[in-house]
Amino acid sequence: MLAKGVVCACLAGAALAPARTPSDLSAYREPLERILREGLRTCTAHELLLDLCRTAPHRLSGSSGAADAVKWAKQALERAGLENVRLEPCSVPFWERGSTAELALAGADGSVSAASERLAIAALGPSVPTPVEGLTAEVVEVHDFEELRALGDSARGKIVFFNRSMDASLADTFEAYGKAVDQRWGGAREAAKAGGIAAIVRSMTTRLDDLPHTGSMGYEEGVPKVPAVAISTHGAERLAARLKKAPVRARLRLDCRQHEDQPSFNVVGELPGSELASEVLVVGGHLDAWDLAEGATDDGAGCAQSIEAVRLIKALGLKPKRTLRVVLFMNEENGLRGAKAYAESHKDELEQHVLAMESDRGGFTPRGFESDASPEGLELLRAAAELLSPIGIGFVRPGSGGADVGPLGRAGVPTIGYVPDCQRYFDIHHCERDTVAQVSPRELELGAISMAGMLYVVADVPERLPRAAASK
Ligand SMILES: [Zn+2]
């Protein structure tokens, strides 16, 4: 939905804002230098992350862990000295993976026994379960939906195995992910359309190892719901090798469950602006996380950085003109209900939203930002980024701010995403490896500092950042 009056605001904003050069922002060099030095000296981002992962290590939406994370977030925002700390309601899906996820390869006689080879899998959410005794069928391997459709009737009654790797030749791992993830999201749906009885999807990582990487998938109305799992990359290679030699029968067992929607919350706190308090800059990450580990990288890091960025600005006595609002979103992973609820409940205020920043690419060394701001807006953001070059910020490139700020972007609020180094993100993403041990305190804090610097400049410059074009 388009917020009232948004259509022309982008044009008006663009006309009012003169092009800026880095030298226009020279007055911000000194405060940004302080943010950098004090941030590295006093950094609290890693302590926040440790505390979140200890308090609520498993916090998939709707779970008791997610409720613990909400309580933690409220206290963390209060401890950071923010004002107007509050819970904003949203209703979320509640899916549990259960305790059984087994893929057993049948022996030469077609049966499964205790001695049968088992490959590491994890249910995708919100997969339906299998019958208690499991589903046993021949496995058919494909690499994309076109190949599956070309099989015609020969996939009927089979378990469909999607085995297209993330393209390791791409330096941008998010680009590689984007080109492979359709199998995870749509694999069960396409398998069912072809008459298949289940979907196995190669884990979304370039790394070869034994860890299955879970994630979200979707069903389509009118299409049978069949179980869907991720298989580790080693498991995928092993299964493909077996299929090259001879047909493979396998038994799949899952006991996951979908419950009723649950009440939950986004958690919000503010540093009110000193002159233009009604103009708001949002900064956030998502509180929920997949349940296989601690969700430290995805996205405890973004939550900790968002809190730390605003805490640091306040602790230094900096008083930006506009309001900084931390929003810790619920349910990014399997529904985006928090993001949608925020945009809906603040729709009358969105014209006063100057920028929405998200950190959801991990707590790694800073590289830059990605933004859907107008060309004039990008000029200002790039001038601010230039001041952050000493800590490794090298670009503000056109792109998306992120999933949680997406609804705000579609309503015309410029969005910006923090972009750290991306090489290790998908080694960790949605698997058992996503623990605090994988996060460097220094790298995490440098991200918080980058975000603080960018937020401070945009919140304080005399001219408001021009609005983006509303798309929906
Ligand atoms: Zn995430």
Ligand 1 centroid, distance to 400 Cα (angstroms): 14
Q: Phi, psi (5° rounding) for residue 92?
A: -125, 155
Assess contact for 60 and 93: CB atoms under 8 A: no
Residue 131 has pLDDT above 90, yes or no: yes
Ligand 1 centroid, distance to 202 Cα (angstroms): 19
Among 161, 153, 59, CA closest to 119: 161
**Mean pLDDT, residues 159-176:** 97
**Mean pLDDT, residues 315-321:** 98
User: Can you give the pLDDT at residue 326?
Assistant: 99
Residue 16 has pLDDT above 70, yes or no: no
Percent of the chain with pLDDT over 70: 94
**Mean pLDDT, residues 136-141:** 98
User: Can you give the pLDDT at residue 391?
Assistant: 94
User: Can you give the pLDDT at residue 471?
Assistant: 66
> Quick one: angle between helices 45-55 and 441-460, nearest 10?
110
Ligand 1 centroid, distance to 99 Cα (angstroms): 24
Ligand 1 centroid, distance to 364 Cα (angstroms): 14
User: Can you give the pLDDT at residue 15?
Assistant: 42
Which are the contacts of 182, defined by CB distance < 8 A and separation ≥ 6?
A: 144, 145
Identity at 59, one-letter amino acid code:
R
Ligand 1 centroid, distance to 139 Cα (angstroms): 31
Residue 158 has pLDDT above 50, yes or no: yes
Look up the pTM and report it.
0.94
Write out pLDDT tens, residues 322-373.
Answer: 999 999 999 999 999 999 999 999 999 999 999 999 999 999 999 999 999 9
- 332, 370, 379, 443: the catalytic one is 332
Write out pLDDT tens, residues 38-56.
Answer: 999 998 999 999 999 999 9
Residue 245 has pLDDT above 80, yes or no: yes
Ligand 1 centroid, distance to 17 Cα (angstroms): 33
Q: Which residues of 340-364 are buried (b: 16+ CB within 10 A; e: fewer)?
A: bbbbeebbeebbbbbbbbbbbbbbb
Assess contact for 346 and 1: CB atoms under 8 A: no
Residue 8 has pLDDT above 50, yes or no: no
Instruction: Give the separation between CA 210 and CA 369, rounded to whole angstroms.
Output: 33
Instruction: Give the separation between CA 61 and CA 350, rounded to whole angstroms.
Output: 26
Residue 470 has pLDDT above 80, yes or no: no
Residue 17 has pLDDT above 50, yes or no: no
Residue 23 has pLDDT above 80, yes or no: no
- Two structure tokens written together for 417: 């995403």
Ligand 1 centroid, distance to 333 Cα (angstroms): 6
Ligand 1 centroid, distance to 435 Cα (angstroms): 14
Mean pLDDT of the chain: 94
Write out pLDDT tens, residues 275-291.
Answer: 999 999 999 999 999 99
User: Can you give the pLDDT at residue 9?
Assistant: 35
User: Can you give the pLDDT at residue 341?
Assistant: 98
Residue with tokens 């807006």: 377
Q: What is the CB-side half-sphere exposure of residue 140 using CA atoms within 13 A?
A: 24
CA distances from 211 to 46, 101, 182, 284, 300 (A): 25, 13, 20, 29, 20
Ligand 1 centroid, distance to 285 Cα (angstroms): 8
Instruction: Give the separation between CA 10 and CA 414, rounded to whole angstroms.
Output: 10
User: Can you give the pLDDT at residue 43?
Assistant: 87
CA distances from 80 to 40, 228, 253, 312, 315 (A): 17, 42, 46, 9, 9
Assess contact for 459 and 416: CB atoms under 8 A: no
**Mean pLDDT, residues 59-74:** 98
Ligand 1 centroid, distance to 293 Cα (angstroms): 13
Give the chain's radius of gyration (CA, Å).
Answer: 23
Residue 468 has pLDDT above 80, yes or no: no
Ligand 1 centroid, distance to 226 Cα (angstroms): 25
User: Can you give the pLDDT at residue 246?
Assistant: 95
**Mean pLDDT, residues 210-227:** 98
Residue 209 has pLDDT above 60, yes or no: yes
Q: Is 332 a catalytic residue?
A: yes
User: Can you give the pLDDT at residue 21?
Assistant: 56
Residue 7 has pLDDT above 50, yes or no: no
Q: Which residues of 297-321 are buried (b: 16+ CB within 10 A; e: fewer)?
A: bbbbbbbbbbbbbbbbbbbbebebe
pLDDT band at 266 (very low <50, low <70, confident <90, very high): very high
**Mean pLDDT, residues 125-133:** 98
Ligand 1 centroid, distance to 298 Cα (angstroms): 4
Instruction: Give the separation between CA 466 and CA 395, rounded to whole angstroms.
Output: 19
Write out pLDDT tens, residues 376-422.
Answer: 999 999 999 999 999 999 999 999 999 999 999 999 999 999 999 99
Q: Is the peptide bond before 224 cis (omega within 30 degrees of 0)?
A: no
The more confidently predicted of residues 225 and 468 is 225
Percent of the chain with pLDDT over 90: 92
Assess contact for 275 and 112: CB atoms under 8 A: no
Ligand 1 centroid, distance to 339 Cα (angstroms): 12
Write out pLDDT tens, residues 100-127.
Answer: 999 999 988 888 999 999 999 999 999 9
